[in-house]
Amino acid sequence: MPILQVENIYKEFGKLEVLKGISFSLDKGKTLAIIGSSGSGKTTLLRCLNLLERPDQGIICVNHEIIFDAEDKAVQREAQIRKNRLNFGLVFQSFNLFAQYTVLKNITLASELLAMGEKNRGKSSAVHQRIKEEAYELLAQMGLSDKADAYPHMLSGGQQQRVAIARALALKPQILCFDEPTSALDPELTGEVLRVVRELADKKTTMLIVTHEMAFARDVADHVIFMDEGLIVEEGTPAQVITSPREERTRQFLSRFSNEP
Ligand SMILES: Nc1ncnc2c1ncn2[C@@H]1O[C@H](COP(=O)(O)OP(=O)(O)O)[C@@H](O)[C@H]1O
Ligand SMILES: [Mg+2]
C-alpha cells in the first residue's frame, strides 16, 4: 500500500522549468532510490516533497491524506505546511548540524521544541526524559554512543552524517529522505554511512534516497527512478533500471559509473 503518492508535480524557477510532471508512489517499508545527472531536478523534487518549495502544480499524499495540492489554498497555510512537513525527515548532503550544540542536543532539539508547543507541559520532566532516552537509543543505533557530549566539529564527516540521520529519525517521520548523503564524504567514510542506511532498510524504514552510489542503490533499493531534465525517464526494480536499462538516456548516464566495482 503506498504511503507516499506524488501526482504530476511541476516546479519552475522563473523561466527555468525544473520539474515537468513527476508522478510516483512509494510503499510503506520500501526503499526508493532516485538517480540522475546533476541538474536533473532531484534536490528540487525532495525539497518539494518536504514542502521547502511549493510545487506550481501537483498533489502530494501521505497515508492517503492530501498534504499538498497546488489547487487548494487551504492545505497551503503556513501552520498546515509546518505540520505536514513532519511526515518527512531529511538528511542533507552537507550534514547541516547545529555547530553550537552538542550531538545530543542536535538530536533532541526539535522534539523538545515540539513538546514545548504541546499541551502536556505539566508532565514536562517526563517528556524531557523520554526524548533524551530515545536520543541515546538512536545514538547507539548509529554506533555513536560515546559522542553524545561532543560538538560537531569534533567528529568526522561520516560521524556527523550519522548524527544527522539520528536527528532526522528523532521526529519519527513516516518517510526518511536522503539527498546524496555520502557525496560530501571521503571514500573511506562513505561505507559507515551506507551501512547505517542499509540497516534502516533492513528494519523496513520507508526511505527515499537520492544517490550516486550505484552499487548501493542496486543492493538496497526496492525500486529505482532515473530522472533526466525534470522527468522520470525510466523506473523499475534495480535489476531493470541499473543492470538492464531499456532507455538510451539511462544507459548513457550509467556508463559513467561503469568503472565501479
Ligand atoms: N532556488 C532555485 N532558484 C533557481 N534555480 C534553481 C533553484 N534550485 C535549483 N535550481 C535549478 O534547478 C535545476 C535543478 O537543480 P537541482 O534540483 O538541484 O538538481 P539535482 O539535485 O538533480 O542536481 C538546476 O538548473 C538548478 O540550477
Ligand atoms: Mg542535488
**pLDDT tens, position by position, 69-99:** 999 988 889 999 999 999 999 999 999 999 9
Separation of 40 CA from ligand 1 center, angstroms?
8
CB atoms within 10 A of CB 52: 14
- The CA distance from 101 to 49, in Å, is 28
Separation of 256 CA from ligand 1 center, angstroms?
21
- Residue 40: the pLDDT is 98
116 part of a folded domain: yes
64 part of a folded domain: no
Phi first, then psi, for residue 245 (nearest 5°) are -65, 145
How confident is the prediction for the chain on average, in pLDDT?
A: 94
235 part of a folded domain: no
pLDDT tens digits for range 141-184: 999 999 999 999 999 999 999 999 999 999 999 999 999 999 99
Q: pLDDT-based confidence at 259, cuts 50/70/90? A: low
38 part of a folded domain: no
Q: Whose CA is nearest to atom 5 of ligand 1?
A: 13
70 part of a folded domain: no
Q: pLDDT-based confidence at 120, cuts 50/70/90? A: low
- Residue 250: the pLDDT is 97
Mean pLDDT (whole number) for 41-54? 97
pTM here? 0.94
Radius of gyration of the chain (CA): 19
H helix and E strand count, the chain: 9, 10
Mean pLDDT (whole number) for 227-246? 97
3-state helix, strand, coil split of the chain in percent (to 5) is 45, 25, 30
pLDDT(135) > 80: yes
What is the best residue among 9, 15, 18 to mutate for testing ligand 1's pocket, by most ligand atoms within 8 Å of CB?
18
- The CA distance from 157 to 148, in Å, is 16
8 part of a folded domain: no
Q: pLDDT-based confidence at 1, cuts 50/70/90? A: confident
**Residue 198 near residue 231 (C-beta atoms within 8 A):** no
Residues with CB under 6 A from ligand 1: 13, 16, 18, 36, 38-44
126 part of a folded domain: yes
Taking phi first (over 0 means left), then psi (-120 to 50 degrees means alpha), and beta for anything else, what does residue 51 get?
left
pLDDT(121) > 70: no
- Residue 119: the pLDDT is 65
What is the best residue among 9, 12, 15, 16 to mutate for testing ligand 1's pocket, by most ligand atoms within 8 Å of CB?
16
pLDDT(260) > 80: no
- Counted domains in the chain: 1
Separation of 36 CA from ligand 1 center, angstroms?
13
- Domain span including residue 164: 99-172
197 part of a folded domain: no
Residue 16 CA to its chain's centroid (Å): 24
Question: Counting beta carbons within 10 angstroms of the beta carbon of residue 82, is it exposed (0 to 12), middle (13 to 18) or buried (19 or more)?
Answer: exposed
- Residue 123: the pLDDT is 67
